[in-house]
A = this chain, B = another copy of it.
Amino acid sequence: MIDIATRVWNHKWKIDPIVRSLIDTDFYKLLMCQSIFRNKPDTNVTFTVINRSSKVRLADLIDEGELREQLDHVRSLSLTRGESTWLRGNTFYGKRQMFRPDFMEWFEGLRLPPYHLEKRDGQYELTFEGRWPEVMLWEIPALSVLMELRSRAVLQTLGRFELQVLYAQAMTKLWAKIQRLKSIPDLKIADFGTRRRHSFLWQDWAVQAMMEGLEGAFTGTSNCLIAMRRDIEAIGTNAHELPMVYAALAENDTELAEAPYKVLADWQEEHEGNLRVILPDTYGTEGFLKRAPDWLAGWTGIRIDSGDPAAGAETAIRWWKDKGEDPTKKLVIFSDGLDVEQIEALHRQFVGRVKVSFGWGTMLTNDFRGLAADDALAPFSVVCKAVSANGRPTVKLSDNPNKAMGPVAEIERYKRVFGVGQQAAMEVVV
């Protein structure tokens, strides 16, 4: 029997929205948003989408009208009562009322600000400008919309049967990875794959697969909406945008050199325990740790997000030892371009020496490599970054020169101020 009402209901939709909730975003965006809302609410920022995979010509693949419809739909969203209740009432990292009443009140009234969209050289120029706490919430929906519209453009060419086989293959592939991960003792791994996901439904399936396959080893998801619906932990701490904007706002080189630590001083006032995780690579991990104040060594852990992850973790271990800290009590979160092989190797190398944890992103939620003709569904590397703050350009160096961004002269200045020497270049795949 066909449910005529359901079919008619489905036909009434003008579009099939990709982002259907303001909390279909990464948990750390909300934590950072609250911090910004308190510490830098009036900063004017520009965020822009950068497609590092220039051979994926998004403007040729994705119809501009469809893209605008999806972005307009995101702008129509506001926090629902149930979402607000969950954010206000849920326990995050063991703490109730993580989100303060003044922030929640502001968030409940929020609509995302306008976007600017242009086509250029087969790519979309998509930028967002305005107050930092509002603009920064565009990052994840903008990326999810672009990723999923690209998926849809490719899926559009497949027949019903091909689609069924495609998802059967993707499920089989992911399940095989999970079976391999299952055999790693004491594994701790979370889903960090919202921004580069194949689609919302696929991320949701991937999370269910992790829950089913890994049980306790799966610690949660960065995606708030999925965390709420599946009743699991929301995971995340902070990201590069904080030091990048703080640094851009610095009035001189002295303030610039202090900016990354100022970020963490502000963070320390707000958060404790597992939320005190250092992201050291914005302007080079080596120099960051060398000049770090002593109180930072007391933090819970570190997140390794660029460069050679093993080298980064060894640097952190040495630093903790120098500071008289016991590395076995410290958390190391690996989160850069991971797949099963790296997870296995890093776990082998560091288990017992530190508390190891993994944030698994693109290869969890978008490993469609080899599943479509011309590999047209392979994930690609698109980011949405703060490029200026109060009219000044931002800079990111990271531990991989291929991930550096900003005006050349500023990059040189930052390298000088942060004492960054020779870096090993690594290919950025996802």
Contact = CB atoms under 8 A, between A and B. Distances in A.
Interface of A: 1, 3, 5-6, 9, 159, 161-162, 164-165, 167-169, 171-172, 175, 208-209, 212
Contact of A3 (B1, B164, B168): B1
Contact of A165 (B3, B5, B165, B172): B172
26 contacts: A1-B3, A1-B5, A1-B6, A1-B9, A3-B3, A3-B6, A159-B212, A161-B208, A161-B209, A161-B212, A162-B212, A164-B171, A165-B171, A165-B172, A165-B175, A165-B209, A167-B168, A168-B168, A168-B169, A168-B172, A168-B175, A169-B171, A169-B172, A169-B175, A171-B172, A172-B172
A212 B158 CA distance: 12
Name the prevailing secondary structure of the A interface residues: helix
Nearest to A7: B1
Contacts of A159: 212
Contacts of A164: 171
Given A1-B5, A3-B3, A165-B171, 20 more contacts: A1-B3, A1-B6, A3-B6, A159-B212, A161-B208, A161-B209, A161-B212, A162-B212, A164-B171, A165-B172, A165-B175, A167-B168, A168-B168, A168-B169, A168-B171, A168-B172, A168-B175, A169-B171, A169-B172, A169-B175
Contacts of A172: 165, 168-169, 171-172
